[in-house]
Amino acid sequence: MPIISIRNLVVEYEGRRVLDGLNLDIEQGETMVLLGGSGSGKSTLLRHIIGLERPKSGSVFVKGIDITRCSKAEMKAVRRSVGVAFQSAALFNSMSVEDNVALLLREHTALAPSIIELVVWMKLAAVGLADFGKLQPQELSGGMKKRAAVARALALDPELLVLDEPSAGLDPIVAAELDDLILFLKEAFHMTVIVVTHELPSAFRIADRIAMLYRGAFSLVGTKDEIRKSQNPRVRDFLDRVPADTAKMQAVGTYFERYLQNQEAN
């Protein structure tokens, strides 16, 4: 049984359809990359997978529980099995890095403080931040913040790790280090990983399968090879970095002419 099943997911904001009847299964232990350009709906899809928003219609099953209709107790159980690292890292600035990681353990477990300290050190060591636990989040670099966010997401040993744009805003070397970290975590903890990104090298490095989003619908869902070989025009445009019409001089000229005609008509 897939760990996540999305069925006919429709999301609208003020009448504007953002996700249009999506269907997707994510299997236990696989790394699924949600790939797409800006505004394609990948972050919106992610927010629905982690239960932050309710869709207009459709269902999102996480471990067999429909989180769009479940009770609070069921949602609690689901949330404790999911670790999320947000695009902005979203570390609590009023706490040190180790307190950020310890927060979940203090709140949701009855572990002794010495055990919590040990677990926190292990999680920070897993992401290469063992020596930085005492620092405040604002003292960390961009890449370190993202690593700390991953350490916090790992605190309760989740079955599912969700990463929103992990390499956005990072230089290529730090981004590659984060890719290595994701591969290492998958290998070490055997967890299912969902990554939202628009970075092609990163996606092809870490993915088992890739779901390509375009304007709220999947253009293609498949393995890395299937994506590479695809002749789907949306996929090809994205892979071959073909600019949209808005960036072409001819298109800009046409818009300008239309604008002038409208002005004259008025």
Quick one: CA dihedral 137, 122, 179, 38, positive or negative? negative
From candidates 54, 56, 69, 108, binder to other proteins by CB under 8 A? 108
CB of 104 to other proteins, least distance (A): 6
The CA distance from 183 to 197, in Å, is: 15
The angle, 0 to 180 degrees and rounded to 10, between the axes of the packed helices 172-189 and 142-153 is 10
- Catalogue the E-assigned strands of 49-96: 57-62, 65-66, 82-85
Q: Rule CB under 8 A: is residue 87 a binding residue for other proteins?
A: yes
Q: Which of residues 244-263 bind other proteins (CB under 8 A)?
A: none
Residue among 26, 82, 196, 235 that touches other proteins (CB under 8 A): 82
CB of 81 to other proteins, least distance (A): 10
Within a 10 A sphere around the Cβ of 259, how many other Cβ atoms?
Answer: 10
Exactly one of 7, 17, 106, 224 binds other proteins (CB under 8 A); which one? 106
* 216 DSSP 8-state letter: T
Tell me if 227 sits within 8 A of 240, measured CB to CB. no
- Rg for the chain, CA atoms, rounded: 21
Candidate ranges 27-35, 103-111, 112-120, 193-201; the one touching other proteins (CB under 8 A): 103-111
Q: Read off the tokens for 174.
A: 């730090």
Query: Residue 136 interacts with other proteins (CB under 8 A)?
Result: no
For 42, the token pair is 């990948």
Separation CA 51–CA 62 (nearest Å): 10
User: How near is the Cβ of 157 to other proteins at its closest, in Å?
Assistant: 14
Q: Rule CB under 8 A: is residue 232 a binding residue for other proteins? A: no
Q: Residue 103 or 220: which CB sits closer to other proteins?
A: 103
CB of 160 to other proteins, least distance (A): 11
List 4, 18, 60, 104, residue binding other proteins (CB under 8 A): 104
Residues 36-65 that bind other proteins (CB under 8 A): 47, 50-52
Per the CB < 8 A criterion, the answer to whether 54 and 10 are in contact is no
Residues making contact with other proteins (CB under 8 A)? 47, 50-52, 76, 79-80, 82, 84, 86-88, 90-93, 103-104, 106-108
